[in-house]
Every structure is written in C-alpha cells, then in structure tokens.
Structure 1
C-alpha cells in the first residue's frame, strides 16, 4: 500500500518542481528551503545534489552577478566555475572549449541551442548572461537528452518573476582597456521589470552592449577571427505566466539574442609556427572590408509550457512545446576561394530551425523505507540545418532530421542513504538530404579540391542508450558515487557531408557514435569544508578528428575509436563568516586508440587550476579575487618543420581577475578588473590551433565600471 504521508519535506518540494527538462525550473517557484543544493537538469526533476550519483556544477545568481562585474562573456564565466570545461578561447567561438573532451549540449530552460547537425561551436554565447538566474552543468555523456550531449549538458535557467507587483532593475556599465584607452571604451545598458499580479506573473528584459576595440597586454587590437572588438549585442527577453489553480499553470517565454561584429579593421596575420601574433589595425586602405558582419544574426526562441501537478493520482504532467530559429554568420575567409569562378573568398552561415514537443510524466510512489520516482514520456523534434555561403554557394546542404524518442528514468531512495538511478532511452532518427555537389575550394587558381556530385537520400538511426548510477550517503563527510551513462551522437553530420569523396550519401560513414561514460567519485562536508573528487573515462568506437590534406589545404574528418580519461577535484572553505575561499583542478587526456596517437587541442585541453577568495567586508562592501592557471601540453612533433592542425604546443599562463562592489541603499557601484597583472599570453586554443589568423593574444588589463539600481 502506498504511503504518501511518509514523503519527506525535500521530496514533496522536489515533486512540486518536477518538469521536462527544467520546465518548472528551480528559479521559477519560490522555495520552501534553500535552492543552493538543488538541481533540476540531470534527471528532469528537482533533486538535492546529494541524491545525484555523478558530478555536477551549479552556478547560482550570486556567483553570476559577481563574475559579471568582471566580464559578461559566458565562456569566461563557465571556464572559471566549471572543472572539466576547457579554458576560455577569448573569442565568440567555443571551438576547443569542450566538456571533458566532448561536445556539450547547450540549453536555455531545457531547449537546445546547439546545432549538432553542423556544429558551429558558437552555442555557449547564445544568450546574454544578464537574463540567466542560474546555470547547471551535468558532466559526461547522457542518455537523458539525446543527440549532441556526448560531453554533458550546460543548461541556462532564465530569471523568474518576483512576488512584488513591480520590480525595476537598471544597470549601466563601461568596459575599457587600461593598457591603451584609445577607441577601447564600450557601454552596456541592462534594464528589466518583473512582478506578480494575482495569478499573473511577468518578466520583461532588454539588454544592449557595444564593445570598443579589445586590446592585448601590449596595447594592440586583438585579431578579428571570431573577434569581439566593436561588437554590438542585443537581448530581448519576455516570460509570462498564469496560475489557473494550485495544480495547473501555463508559461510563455520568448528570447531574442544577436551579437554582430562590424569593425573597420583588418588583420595582420601571424603564425603559431613563426611565433608572431595575429593582430588588427585600422583599415586605412580606402577599400571596404569584404563580407558582412560576423556573429549571430538573430537567435529566436519561443517556449510554451503547461503543467498539471496532479493529472493522475501521484502523477504530474508537463507539456512543453518550442520553436527556434538561428542564423550564425562566420568571418570572411579566403579558404572559401574559387578563383576560376570569380570567388576570392567566402563567408558561410549556419542556419538552423527547430520545433519540438515533449510530453513528460512524473509518478512518485513510496513504500516502507523506499521512495521511488518514475519519469517517462516522449520527445519529438524536427531540426532543419544547413551551411550555405553568403554569396549563394552551398557548402553543407539542407539536412532535415526528425527525431522521436521514448524514455524512462527511475530513482529509488532507499533508507534515506542509498540512491539508485537507472534509465533507458529509445531514439528513432530519420534524416533526409537532397542531391547536392560538394563545394570546390582552391588554395590557388590551379590547386583545388575535387567537387563530387552526391546522390542524396534518407538515413535512419535507431539507438537504445542506458544509464545507471549509485550513491551512498554514508555520512556528511563522505558520500561515494559511481555511474555509467551512454550517449548516441550523430553530431556534425554536415562536416562529413561537405567533405564527401564519394558519389552517394549512403557511402559516407555517417553512423551514429555511441559514447560510453564511466565515472567514480566522492564528495562531502566537514565543518566549513566542502569537497568533491571525480575520475572518469569515456570511450567511443567512432570519434571525429581531422586529417590535414596538404594538397588542397582542407582538413578532412576521420572516424576512429577514441578513449578519453581524466579527473577533477574541487574544494571550498569558509575561513570566517566573511571570508570564503576555494580551488579546483582538472586534468584530461585522450587517444585515437586505433592509431595509438594522442588527440589534438580541438578535443583535449591543457590542465586547469582555478582558485578564489571572497571577502564580504560588511553588508555593503564585497571584494573577490579569481586566479586561473592553464598548464602545459605538448604531445606532437612538427611535420616538415611545422606544427599542423590543432597540434601546436601549449605553454602555461596565469590570469588574475578582481571584482568589487559597494551597496548604497538601492544603488550598487562596481569595479571589475580582468587580467589585473597584465599577463601577456596566448589562450590555450590560440597556441594549439595553427590555422591562419587564430593565434591572437588575449585581453590585457581591462576595467569594467558600473552602477545598478533596483526600485
């Protein structure tokens, strides 16, 4: 006989938050207890972290707000806060910024922002940090969310309405170089209003930011490949909710984000092999720059969500529909030249349109000393993606994917201390590609790739993936956990199609890659000390790496088995009531097991150490210091006296950032300093990537001054 009267307070709270995925996110309901140790992403339900048998990272609103005093770039923030995430690239692209060596699926309130069919690796910066309430990061391949999540999940949970009738927030700030002020000053304006009127809730936000030129430690303008100089971004966000009764609610969310670089600059190209940096100068040639502004032209997201907390006895229903449209424009490149046909270069864009619906049920039943939860439902998604060129040529043809998935996720809390989780997901994917011709690309007028007429057709993928995890909360001081999880990944199919060397799509190795992820770790609390350690290993029979074709200059995909392994450790300690500190360390390595060679810098990152000290001097004044160390990685030899591909050696560097704020009634004054010591360095990616124009130095000392008010 079911005994719901024995459900714990925490479990009742979890039940009231159950959602698909994060559909009734932790930030959208006022908690009866602190949400600091709750997570909603990993299993599609709200649960305490000490009931999750894997490592996760939570970035709450307080940490977000403090880090944004230094920089609003989500890549920088995540690189510091998330062990296992590769160091920031310092650009708009997160290429090489993998999660445990594999691609992460980026979500906004559970809606995918990544474009896995043609992964342009611009998804981390798909929303302004100013509309995010908290970020939840689940590490390791997952069978919960499907394609594109072989490395884990990064879920941006957007802001919720306050209980006030109207709450107004206004913030203004300016960021500029302390090395050379000229043309470097930019501005940011962040405004929002939110509140609750009876059963109706609302959030309206408008954010605009314009950067000046970004300068390195020597005062030179940082290069333009995925550059951030003279970029204007806009984010418009709306969330409307209505509570029909205690059980039923509906919510409509719309988010628009754009960030385009329109700079009157030209690059002076250097090289990793020569040791000369790439930097930008003012265009004084009198000839207009080729191409159009690079960056997201417009990222549209519409989400409609209906929740019934008691559709059946002990069962919650969530209906979740969404639509998305993305256009990401890349920089102009001479690598897309075809001189015989009049093209001196080209500029590509990734276009992606998604629409989907998810039906999710959560049923909870308890007996004796076992609390059990069953999450089950249906995911339906259509994803139409392509990569044309701005001049009308087609590089990657339109790919129309239809994905239908059924899943069951279970959780058992046994005698309060043992947590057992297990799940299964069945995916059926149908993908259609019309006949197309691969693009002819030329290094010179006579040195070109060979175009192929490829017969299109239908591709079908059926996969069943599993996950199982166990955690034992032996004591507050020691809680071991272990997990196994699979991910089915057909990500970046477009890269395979655009480099086809056969005349039929069915002859291209487009098989899905099944990633097996194993994790073992422990965490605990001892007084004011909190810690976590995790070791992991992931294996796949079909990874994706690149091989350089010296004749055409094209990097061709290679499907080969991969093994990736590493470990992470994190410590946090409250020295006093006013001073807190902590550090994290992550190390990762990987190999192509067929050729027995190490994986390059596009997949494997250098070791990373971070630490912080935060001092709350009084109710009004706060100071924080962040330190980031990126270590050495040198696994490759030169080929013909040159490093190729992403095989450049990485040398260590150190970065110190400072944030401070002073609260005066409803006003806040803030000062942030990025790269306080003016470290002169190339980012890890800039050192590893030998491609022309990528070896740019990172920001020198940069000041961010701001003022905010809340009414």
Structure 2
C-alpha cells in the first residue's frame, strides 16, 4: 500500500512522485514541484499522500471521494454520504480544496461543496496538508486538500482506456441501478504529450439498510455527472516545459423524490418517497451546474544559476445550486420558498523561484515568490433575489520559505508570508426571509465599502533523522483566515459593513510528533493544537428562526496515529486513529459537530493472493462523542447533537487479464443500520439521513 503520511511546509502545485528503495527497503517518496523538493525523511509537518493504486482500489466500491479521504487521513472527519462536505473538516477547521493548486473552495461564502469538484478517474494522487498553512493564502485554516491530476504522456503515441461500471442496492434493487463510463486517451508525440478524458455517471436511487430511499437534501440519488478533462504538455527545451490544463465538471440532482422529514433527537430518519406532485413547482436541480478550471504553467529549471522558476496562471468559475428551502420564502412577493446558489469567479497568477545553495555541512533551499488572486463571489437566489451581494476580493502576497539540511540528519525549516487582502462590497439590502407568515427577518439597507486586511504569518519546524527508530519533529505554523463574510453580510444587524466583525483571524497551529521505522513496520504519532482569536459559531435567532454567525475565540486540539505493516510483497495493513476536540474559550463550551468530528479508527488491508488478483478490506469505526445536553423539551439544537458510534465495512476485488480487468466492490458489507456522524451532530431539518445500506458496484476496464 502506498499511502504515506509525511510533512512539509509547502506543497507542489503540480508535483511528480518518484519512488526509490533505501537501505531499509522502505519506499522513499520525492515530491517535486513549484515550491520545494521534499523527501519523506526531511519533512516535519503532517501530509498524507494517497497514490493512484490505492485510489483505484477504493473507487472500486464507490466514486465518493469524501469517504476515501476519511479512510486514510486521521484529521479528516467521517464522510457525509452527500454532495456536501458541510460538517466534514480537517482537524476541526475548513480545508482549502485545490485541483493542481487551483483553489476550488469559496471561502468568502463557504458553501462546503468544494471536495467534489472533479471525477476521481482523472486524479493521479491526493496530497493533504494537515494543520493551518498560508502557503496558498486564504481558506486553509485546517490545511489543504490538493487533487493532482493525471500526467500527460506514456509509452505510446495513442493509448485508450475505457472504464464502465454499474451500481445498485443489494437490499432493494428497484430504481437503484446506476452506471458510469469513462474514456481516457493519452500519448506522446515528439515534444508533445497529452491526456484527455470524458466521464459520465448517473446514480439510481440510493437506499439505506432498510431499503428506504435516502433523503434528497444534498443527495446523490439520481445525480447526473459530466466531467471533461484535457492536459497538454510541451517540452520547449531540455530545461523548459509548458503545460495547459482544462477541466469542466457538473453534477446535479434532478429528482421527483421528496423528503419525509424526521427528527434526530427522536431517532427518526429523513427518507424520500416518489411523489412528483409534491415537488416544489419552481425547484431547479441542485448541485454544481458548471465548474470550469483553466491553467497554464511554465517551468524553467535553470533560469538562473542554481535556480528554477515556475509561473502559472489560472481561471476558475463555478455555480453551485443548493436545495429548495421554505426558509427562503417571503409572502410579500408570494414566494413559498427558494433556492440559493454560490457564484464564484477566480483569476490568479503565481511565480515561484527555488534557489539551492550548498556547503560542506549544510544544503539550503530558498523558495520565494509572489501570489496574486482575484475572487468575486456572491450568493443570489435562482429567482433573482440577492441574498449575499457580490464580494470582490483582491489578494496580493509575497513569501519566503527556506529549508536547511545539516549533515543529512537535522532539518530546519522557516518561512514568512505577507498578505494584503482587500474586499469591496457595494451598498445592498438584506432579504426579508420568513420561516412562517408570522416569523420573518427585518430587511436592512446596508452601506457597503472596503474591507482591508493585512497579515504576516510565520512558520518554523525542526526534524532529526539520526536514528531510524525515532525521527522526532516539532513545528509551529500560522494561517491567515478570512471569515465566511457572505454569512456575516446576509445576516447583518447593522446598517454599515464597517460595523460587522469581518476582520481576518490568524490561526496559530502547533504540532509535535515522530516517525519510527523498523524493517517492514512504520509508525507515526503526533499531537497538535490550534488557536484562533476570531472563530465562528452559529446561533439561532428565536425571533426570526434564522441562524446568525458570531465571532469568538476558539481552541482546537487533538492527536493522531498511523501504523503501516508490510507482512510480505502481497499483503499489507494500515491502521489510523484520529481524535479532535475544541472549545469556545470565552464560554469554556465545546464546539459543535459542524467543526468537530467524532473520533474515528480505520483499518485497511490489501492482499494479492496471486499476481493478477487483488483484494482489499476497509473498516471505518466512528466512536462516540457526547458533549452536549438536551434542552427542556428533550431536543438537541443546532450542531450540538451527540454522536453514537458505528462501524462500516467495505470489500473490493479485481482481476487483471492483461488488456482488460474486472472489478467489484461491496459498500457496507454487513448492511449496518446507522446515522452518519454528521446526521447525528447536526439537528437541522432533513440532515438526519441514514447511511447507505449494502450496495454493489461491478465494472470492467479495457486498455488498448
């Protein structure tokens, strides 16, 4: 199994992984890219890398990338089983999701839809930085999830891959059959290399352990997904390369199934029934209706003496449509509800230089450059009303990172980043929203203006590699985190944005850990803590029935462990454990489940009984988190529901016949009947959907 947890202070925008054998016969990974070259032995901050082999094994069960990340990354809370990562955090804070370094998250109005932004078929590997970092700017208070797409080229002028599969409920097959097909063309011709892919997936109705249809809010049932991807590489010279990447993704649910609302405090699930007549007349399909990424990258490995440079420019646009909600109604205009969407347009330019200097006792890398980003984000309703006005952010940053390796054993890393962030908002009116004819918010005329923020963040880390059995490290890092300004603006209670608490928060993260290697065994353990002077929490306004956001200090802490054991060339085991906890420090009260996930334990074993056959068994065990009390009516409120643990087991297998292979997977092998952690922690209407029941996926891959 090639799942490695390593540490680094900067992550490659488009990295290439190589593997080599060291004296202990343990693979060493090299991450080569725009910001630094890293070896697994020289990195003192937590990063998990999931390679293509492991991706394919787990995707044989399902294309749900959230569950895969939760299986291998201790700091990521359990998957939601939906199209949203709302309630799935990285070490208790939001993660910045990227594709080849291009940001997909929308931190100005965080709709928590960034994790599912491309088809996993085009992912070469996933790299996850855990802990606050400012190396890519705003939105990475919890870390970074970077999808590295497939590398163009290959041994042939043209090679074709076709992957087709079908998926259905093993409990109740009716209406549950879905399918997926993806085709990939790649090759090399002289100085040109390319890869292009198209994939299409249509889900059937997803069902729980009782055979009931899962609820539709953020649902995946009957979702239809299209993904178009292309990457072209040009070797300009021996030292210069140019690459251009295009990716288009849409995934929408257009369903005539409607929800029967339950109540998690009473243990009642939300499920769906087929009822076209009850579907809201004005409801539109929910999900990403179009996510486009275009990136051009130029690399020169010898622009100066001992210096390489990488310059990349990108543009990204997205429209994410949310579910129909009666909370967006207004009887004054005869609106019985509504749907919102997040619209975001980003344009960025980055230049990164990497200079190497060496003496007899120390090798030094200096990584420095400039990042420029413009992000225009808003949240209108599909009926034309404007809920969150257009926010125009301009982010300029300069950075200097350094890496010092003394006598191959002692590694010191240190860096600084200076951010200048400006956000412009025009005058706007807050919406009148009614949860009932008699319970409405009061609209305000709000004076706009400019929000200007500057932040200087630092990082420093040490690691010692003198003894294979004990490689300790310690690190301190900071990240500048602009809050979800869109939520603050749409729920404004003052008439001037200068009176809204919109300033950025600096998240300060500390970590200590070690790595131990003994022949075929590798063990890692770490503890961490992060503090922010201005965290966020949601509270219910009883007069309007609408949740508003408050800013308050927070402290989050936790510990993690990972153990890998290679019993033989054909059998390996991986175990992970992660526990995170957090408090609002002013009130000494625990942070709710929107940020803090329940503890979890995972187990994965891969076995190749013969050369061409592969089996994999994975187990996710979520543990209890009991921090909250019921109110006088016996109900939990907001995101303060307790979590009762559960266990989910998946099984996959494949056989390679040469030019084609067959594979299959069973999700929830033992048909566990459970509420996912998010469904238990979040008490909001329609969030209390049970987990998927036993589901079968089978497919065939062709290569020629």
In the superposition, the TM-score normalised over structure 2's length comes to 0.96
Shift of 1:573: 0.5
Deviation at 1:43, TM superposition (A): 8.7
CA distance in 1, matches of 2:74, 2:701: 31
Residue of structure 2 in register with 1:514 after alignment: 506
1:157 & 1:568 partners in 2: Cα distance?
25
Distance 1:337 1:324 in 2: 31
Residue of structure 2 in register with 1:25 after alignment: 15
CA deviation after TM superposition for structure 1 residue 163, in Å: 3.2
Judged with a 3 Å threshold, the aligned counterparts in structure 2 of structure 1 residues 88 and 560 are, in CA distance, closer, same or farther, namely same
Distance 2:279 2:648 in 1: 38
In structure 2, the partner of 1:621 is: 613
Deviations 1:126-181 (A, max 9, x none): 11110000001110001211110000010100001223222211010001000000
Distance 1:368 1:172 in 2: 56
The superposition leaves residues 651-674 of structure 1 with CA deviations (integer Å, 9 ceiling, x where unpaired) of 010000001001111111101000
State yes or no: 1:657 paired with 2:650. Answer: yes
Instruction: Tell me whether 1:424 sits opposite 2:416 in the alignment.
Output: yes
Aligned partner (choices 212, 218, 221) of residue 204 of structure 2: 212
**Residue 528 of structure 2: aligned partner:** 536
- Native 8 Å contact 1:314 1:363 kept in 2: yes
Deviations 1:521-571 (A, max 9, x none): 001210110111010000011001111112211111110000000000010
Q: 1:681-696 maps to which residues of 2 (within 5 A)?
A: 681-696=674-689
* Change over 3 Å in CA distance of 1:284–1:150 after alignment to 2: closer
Shift of 1:452: 1.1
Per-residue deviation, 1:578: 1.6
Structure 1 stretch displaced more, 255-264 or 547-556: 547-556
Name the CA shift for 1:520/1:146 in 2 (closer, same or farther; >3 Å): same
The answer to whether the 8 Å contact 1:36/1:60 transfers is: no
Paired with 2:703 and 2:120, the residues of 1 have a C-alpha distance of 18
For residues 562-602 of structure 1, give each alpha carbon's deviation from its aligned partner in whole angstroms, at most 9, with x where no partner exists. 00000000101012222111211111110000011000000
Cα distance in structure 1, aligned partners of 2:488 and 2:21: 49
Deviation at 1:287, TM superposition (A): 6.0
Q: Paired residue for 2:86, among 92, 95, 109?
A: 95
1:710 is displaced (CA, Å) by 1.1
Are the aligned partners of 2:417 and 2:456 in contact in 1 as well (CA < 8 Å)?
yes
Q: Which residue of 2 aligns with 1:8?
A: none
Tell me which of 469, 492, 507 is aligned to 1:500: 492
CA RMSD of aligned residues (A): 1.7
2:222 maps to which residue?
A: 230
2:379 to 367, 382, 387: 387
Partner of 2:5: none
Answer yes or no: is the 8 Å Cα contact 2:667–2:696 preserved in 1. yes
Q: Which residue of 1 aligns with 2:66?
A: 75
The 5-angstrom pairing of residues 296-335 of structure 1 reads 296-335=288-327
2:696 maps to 1:703 = yes
Alignment pair present for 1:566 and 2:584? no
From the superposition, tell whether residues 250 and 403 of structure 1 become closer, same or farther in structure 2 (CA, over 3 Å). Answer: same
Relative to the length of structure 1, the TM-score reads 0.95
- Seen in structure 2, the aligned counterparts of structure 1 residues 43 and 562 have a Cα distance that, compared at 3 Å, is farther
Give the Cα separation in 2 of the matches to 1:604 and 1:598. Answer: 9
CA distance in 2, matches of 1:39, 1:439: 52
The answer (yes or no) to whether the contact 1:147–1:491 under 8 Å persists in 2 is no
SS across alignment from 1:98: coil
Q: CA deviation at 1:42?
A: 10
1:124 Cα shift?
0.5
Instruction: Kindly report which structure 2 residues correspond to 1:42-441, keeping only aligned pairs within 5 A, or say none.
Output: 44-161=35-152, 162-285=154-277, 289-441=281-433
CA distance in 1, matches of 2:280, 2:492: 35
Query: Could you say what secondary structure the match of 1:273 adopts?
Result: helix
Change (3 A) 1:443 1:405: same
State the distance in 1 between where 2:391 and 2:410 align.
45
CA deviation map 1:209-229 (0-9, x unaligned): 000000000000000110000
* 8 Å CA contact retained: 1:19, 1:44: no
For each residue in 1:589-622, what CA deviation from the matched residue of structure 2 results, as whole angstroms up to 9, or x when unmatched?
1000001100000011101000012111111111
The equivalent residue for 2:666 is 673
Alpha carbons of 1:23 and 1:563: their partners in 2 closer, same or farther (altered >3 Å)? closer
Show CA shifts across 1:75-111 (max 9, x none): 0110111111000000000011000000000110011
Equivalent pairs, count: 692
In structure 1, how many angstroms separate the alpha carbons of the residues matched to 2:21 and 2:226? Answer: 35
Call closer, same or farther: CA 1:37–1:555 in 2, change over 3 Å.
farther
- State the distance in 1 between where 2:588 and 2:40 align: 38
Give me the whole-angstrom Cα distance separating, in 2, the residues matched to 1:286 and 1:75: 31
Q: Deviations over 1:231-286 (max 9, x none)?
A: 00011000001001110111000000110001111111111122211000101537
CA distances 1:183-229 after superposition (whole Å, capped 9, x unpaired): 10100001101111111000010011000000000000000110000
SS in 2 for 1:117: helix
Which deviations, in whole Å up to 9, do the C-alpha atoms of 1:355-389 show, x marking residues without a partner?
01001111001011211000000000000000000
Cα 1:32–1:592 shift into 2, 3 Å? closer
- 1:281-310 per-residue CA deviation (whole Å, 9 max, x = no partner) reads 101537665410000011000000011111
Q: Is the 8 A contact 1:143 1:467 kept in 2?
A: no
Select which of 529, 537, 546 maps to 1:554.
546
Match of 1:589 among 581, 594, 597: 581
| 1:631-642 alignment, distance < 5 Å | 631-641=623-633, 642=635
Counterpart check, 1:598 vs 2:617: no
1:648 aligns with 2:641: yes
Q: Which consecutive unaligned segments of at least 5 residues does structure 1 have?
A: 1-17
1:10 alignment partner in structure 2: none
Decide whether the 8 Å contact of 1:272 with 1:687 is kept in 2: yes
